[in-house]
Amino acid sequence: MFSDVKACIFDVFGSVADWRGSVSRDLAGFAKEKGIEGVDWLVFAVEWRKLYQPAMEEVRSGRRSWEILDTLHRESLYKLLDRFGVRGLSGADIEHMNKAWHRLDPWPDAVQGLTMLKRRVAIAPCSNGNVALMVNMAKRAGLPWDCILGAETARAYKPMPRCYLSACEMLGLQPHEVMMCAAHNNDLAHAKKQGLRTAFFPRPTEHGPGQTTDLAADPAAVDLPAADIIDLARELGC
Amino acid sequence: MFSDVKACIFDVFGSVADWRGSVSRDLAGFAKEKGIEGVDWLVFAVEWRKLYQPAMEEVRSGRRSWEILDTLHRESLYKLLDRFGVRGLSGADIEHMNKAWHRLDPWPDAVQGLTMLKRRVAIAPCSNGNVALMVNMAKRAGLPWDCILGAETARAYKPMPRCYLSACEMLGLQPHEVMMCAAHNNDLAHAKKQGLRTAFFPRPTEHGPGQTTDLAADPAAVDLPAADIIDLARELGC
């Protein structure tokens, strides 16, 4: 049924990697090293993520010119350090903390599932993360991407059509030959509207134990529901 | 000496892959299948390559707007098929021939050398080939790139400064942390002018048995002369 799919492109934050667990663990470890006390780093990570969409919306709306996600993350980090009363860090410390997003751990099925998919199709992130972020994460985690696509190569943040369509163009493929794969129905709905195929796999603890959203595929947005990336690879005959 | 180098970016046509042998073999095989006779496909490949710089120069000069290399290659192919008197091919046939550039064989040391380098540094092409061309070549040949950079992601053909500098930016690195690696002194001279480190390894048969250019490193352009990509990896301590 999906034999004409020649590439799978992936949402990364939440779908391939566990941002909530990884960022909070990374910052907590660094804070301990630096003797910073009194901050709940899980709360901090969640607050950081909350500033993600509004920061990108400034760029999407055209109110500010193109900036990569590392820059938006850094601006949000400065705000949060101030709000949480964390003082006395050096520029290098803050840069290290900002790169917590380059050090995300993948979900347990991600490396094996991507490795299986890579045998038959091209695999790439189609993430709002910038190229360096994706390259550093992939090298640390062993994610075997064929190339890095997404917001920076398109100069447009998801869910703008340009982000999905630029990935297809750069792969030299028609949208129906490319499958957008994510744990977020909303991302998939936007990709489907541009003519891409879509695959959903749930990440029921992305937002913590009480998660109520994206627990199942939305049939209106999803062509192929899967259990995880290994299951997705099997469904595609890899 | 080069311990601060965090990425190696590569010229591909001629440096990592043997375009002359590969394109001529590929076209000769296809011509046999199609019953096309009377063409010396080695001459054809060399003539195709001769149209490469003039086609890019139209874009570099601003006389025409951005076009990927697949498009420039296709235009040159139509001209050459006409000049060599090859008639009666379908659009799909011509598309297949154009993608001979996606099916280049790497030089014998390339896969092993890149695999060694990848342990310590990020590796990417910085080629005038477009992303799809580089992805397809890498998947067929087993080139283990961390990401695909170059003319299409920079929207500028080498040797324009933007092509080298965009690769550094997308890797999140300063130019002196990036080493441009090639078998062409001219490419390296342009990269060095932008602040990148440079490594040369000769490909003495790229242009055939009587080659007279690029047989040795030009000391003015080259920081690190090497025998091949495996030797380069050893020199960088990989």
Of A113, A109, A129, the C-alpha closest to A121 is A113
For residues B122 and B210, state if they share a domain: yes
Provide the shortest C-alpha distance from residue A70 to chain B (in Å): 9
Does A191 share its domain with A231? yes
With CA atoms as reference, the chain A residue closest to B172 would be A132
Cβ of A170 within 8 Å of Cβ of B130? The answer is: yes
CA distance A2 to A181: 13
Percent of chain A predicted with pLDDT > 90? 99
Query: Is there a single domain that holds both residue A129 and residue A74?
Result: no
CA separation for the pair B225, A189 (Å, rounded)? 51
Model confidence at A165, pLDDT cuts 50, 70, 90, reads very high
Can you give the residue range of the structural domain that contains B49? 19-102
Structure-block tokens of residue A156: 């447009």
> Across the interface, which of B130, B136, B172 has its CB nearest the CB of A70?
B172
- Going from the C-alpha of B121 to that of each of A96, B5, B8, B237, the distances in angstroms are 19, 7, 7, 10
pLDDT at A136 over 90: yes
Model pLDDT, residue B1:
76
pLDDT at residue A1 in the model: 76
Same domain, B13 and B39: no
Q: What is the CATH number of the domain that holds B87?
A: 1.10.150.240
Q: State the best of A71, A130, A131 to mutate against chain B, taking most chain B CBs within 10 Å.
A: A131
- Together in a domain, A30 and A92: yes
Q: Answer for the pair A30, A196: CB distance below 8 angstroms, yes or no.
A: no
Please give the Cα distance from A96 to A105 (Å, whole number).
16
| B119 is a domain residue | yes
Distance CA B31, CA B24 (A): 10
Total of domains in chain B: 2
Q: Which of A134, A146, A152 has its CB closest to that of B135? A: A146
Q: Is residue A167 part of a domain?
A: yes
DSSP symbol at B13: B
Share of chain B above pLDDT 70, in %: 100
In a domain, A2, yes or no: no
CB contact B70 to A (< 8 Å): yes
Scanning A167-196 for CB atoms below 8 A from B yields: 170-173
A123 in contact with B, Cβ within 8 Å: no
- A48 and A165 in contact (C-beta within 8 Å)? no
Q: Do A139 and B146 touch (CB under 8 A)?
A: yes
Kindly state whether residues A111 and A172 are assigned to the same domain.
yes
- Nearest residue of B to residue A171, measured between CA atoms: B132
B26-67 confidence digits (pLDDT tens) = 999 999 999 999 999 999 999 999 999 999 999 999 999 999
Measured between beta carbons, the chain B residues lying within 8 angstroms of A138 are 146
Range B70-90 average pLDDT: 97
Query: Which residues in chain A are closer than 8 Å to B12, comparing Cβ atoms?
Result: none
Same domain flag for B63 and B155: no
Q: pLDDT tens digits for A171-185?
A: 999 999 999 999 999
Other residues' Cβ atoms within 10 Å of the Cβ of residue A147: 30
Q: What is the pLDDT of residues A74-122, one digit of tens each?
A: 999 999 999 999 999 999 999 999 999 999 999 999 999 999 999 999 9
Average pLDDT, chain B: 97
Q: Which CATH number does the domain housing residue B132 bear?
A: 3.40.50.1000
Question: A152 — contact with chain B (CB < 8 Å)?
Answer: yes
The set of long-range contacts for B214-217, using a CB threshold of 8 Å and a minimum separation of 24, is B214/B183, B214/B184, B214/B185, B217/B185
Chain A residues whose beta carbon lies within 8 Å of the beta carbon of residue B71: none
ipTM: 0.96
Q: How far apart are CA A194 and CA A160, in angstroms?
A: 10
A216 and A115 share one domain: yes
The answer to whether A145 contacts chain B (CB < 8 Å) is: yes
* Domain final residue pick, B40, B75, B102: B102
Choose one of B102, B127, B161: the last residue of a domain: B102
CA distances to A66, A168, A191, B138 from A10, in Å: 22, 12, 11, 20
Amino acid, single-letter form, for residue A120: R
Pair (B51, B123) in one structural domain:
no
Mean pLDDT over each residue of chain A, to the nearest integer: 97
Residue B2 lies in a domain: no
Q: How many CA atoms lie within 13 A of B156 on its CB side?
A: 11
B153 in A contact zone (CB under 8 Å): yes
Residue B3, both tokens? 């311990």
| Most distant CA atoms of chain B, gap in Å | 58
**What whole-number distance in Å separates Cα of residue A199 and Cα of residue A222?**
6
Q: Are residues B125 and B50 located together in one domain of the fold?
A: no
Continuous H helices in A51-130: 52-60, 69-83, 91-98, 110-118
**The total number of residues written for chain B in this structure:** 238
In the predicted model, what is the mean pLDDT of residues B162-190?
98
Cβ pair B135:A152 closer than 8 A: no
Residue with tokens 């010119």: A65
- Helices H, strands E: what count in chain A? 11, 6
Q: Do B148 and A148 touch (CB under 8 A)?
A: yes
Residue length of chain A: 238
Nearest by CB: B138 against A134, A136, A146:
A146
Are A44 and A90 within one domain? Answer: yes
User: Are B134 and A122 in contact (CB < 8 Å)?
Assistant: no
Chain B CB contacts of A153 below 8 Å: 131, 153
Is A198's Cβ below 8 Å from some Cβ in B?
no
Is B178 exposed, middle or buried (CB count within 10 Å of its CB: 0-12, 13-18, 19+)? buried
- Reported as a single tens digit per residue, the pLDDT across B83-137 is 999 999 999 999 999 999 999 999 999 999 999 999 999 999 999 999 999 999 9
Helix (H, G, I), strand (E, B), or coil: what is residue B102? helix
Q: Say how far apart CA B125 and CA B112 lie, in whole Å.
A: 16
Domain assignment of residue A1, yes or no: no
Half-sphere exposure of A193 (CA within 13 A, CB side): 12
Same domain, B167 and B77: no
CA distance between the termini of chain B: 13
Q: For the whole model, what pTM was predicted?
A: 0.97
Q: Are A113 and A233 in contact (CB under 8 A)?
A: yes
The partner residues of B198 in beta bridges, in order of sequence, read B180
Token pair for A81: 């350090």
Q: Reduced to 3 states, what is the DSSP secondary structure of residue A219?
A: coil
Last residue of a domain, one of B102, B133, B154: B102
CA angle A147/A151/A152 to nearest 5° reads 75
**Is residue B226 domain-resident?**
yes
